[in-house]
Copies of this chain bind each other. A is one copy, B any other.
Amino acid sequence: MKKYRLFAPGPTPVAEDTSLAMAQPMIHHRTKAFEKILEEVRGGLKWLFQTKNEVLILAASGTGAMEGAVVNTLSKGDKVLVVDGGKFGERWWKICKAYGVEADIIKVVWGEAVSVSEIESHLKKGGYKAVFVQASESSTGVYHPIEPIAALTKNTETLCVVDAISALGAVDLPMDKWGMDILITGSQKALALPPGLAMVALSDKAWAMTEKSSLPKFYFDFKREKKNIETNQTAFTPAITLILGLAQTLQKLREEGLENVFARHARLAEATRQAMKALGLKLYAKSPVNSLTAVCVPEGVDGQKITKLLEQKHKMTIAGGQDAAKGKIFRIAHLGYFDDLDMVTVIAAVELTLAELGYSFPLGSGVGAALKVLQS
């Protein structure tokens, strides 16, 4: 008997009581009962996004909200700046390209964070309608410095658009305080829900841009969504069960408190980082995000065998590397429904796997280092 254990940076495990909340009898969305839930959920999302503005809820993967950020604020031929330091940075300019938006790309070496001064010198040239960036680049485990990037655009006409799909709820991203203009997240990350919901908030500046945008849109038309909020509805049939789960998970996060939620992610991440260092492994991200830890595969070990063996021997899913990092790294999630001892299980399984693949180290040294962090 082996339990299935999921440690990929999204989808993450879902709490049992949240799964059961979503297994309640179906209710119709055009009822007072559902409208009350939606109202509560929107309040909870404002709290999570740390914004006074409305948070839109879309039945889509996070990418849908990324596309929405582009098509609702821009017009054909607009020039934007894209930070591309991984698979999701790439996605920004691919979406722009699909819609005829000209993207100047700041290519960041995988594993590194973008240089704020490089963004600054680009912005000085002027003419950029928006800067697109990830808070957490899940493919590399990097945290890009959102606060100073948002500060650059704050009193300008340029939007700061942040994909925080694998960051919001894991690290502090106060939307209004920092002056982000569009902030995006997805259900299957720190919110510990199944995939299928995207959430996005816009600043007043971003909402003003929607009035001028001429790119075509229908399903992801943010203005239509905003209008439907007046009647406590969504523009199209919402993913009802996921919203029931969202109501529950937001309530639990509020009980835990934002500071504690961030501290939890920081603790799990630090325990994992210390464990990996104790095993003699290098971290891949120069500026690691607390959502996940990307670890370099040691020399002489086949990286793809690590994930394969974890799956076969321990029924455990962690993430390998993608594209440029394929076979070179493995990634362990901290965001979602995880507690301290969960990290012990994943570190233990990684130790057993590395040992089996011939990597030499004192067995238990990683777990020991993690426990020291978790103890304090």
Contacts and interface: CB of A to CB of B under 8 A. Distances in A.
A11 B29 contact: yes
Interface string A1-40: 0001010101111100001101111111111100000000
Report the interface size class on chain A: 35 or more
A218 B29 CA distance: 28
Contact of A240 (B11, B23, B94, B220): B11
B23 A22 contact: yes
Given A11-B237, A29-B11, A99 B59 contact: no
B22 A22 contact: yes
A213 interface: no
A23 to B, nearest CB: 4
A301 to B, nearest CB: 21
A239 B8 CA distance: 16
A6 B22 contact: no
Given A218-B95, A218-B99, A241 B59 contact: no
B26 A12 contact: yes
A336 B311 CA distance: 37
Contacts of A10: 237
A29 B241 CA distance: 19
- Among A4, A20, A95, find the residue whose CB has the most chain B CB atoms closer than 10 A: A4
Nearest to A20: B23
B27 A6 contact: yes
Interface of A: 4, 6, 8, 10-14, 19-20, 22-32, 59-64, 67, 94-95, 98-100, 186, 188, 194-196, 215-221, 236-242, 311, 317
Given A28-B317, A62-B237, 6 more contacts: A4-B27, A13-B25, A22-B23, A31-B311, A63-B237, A188-B240
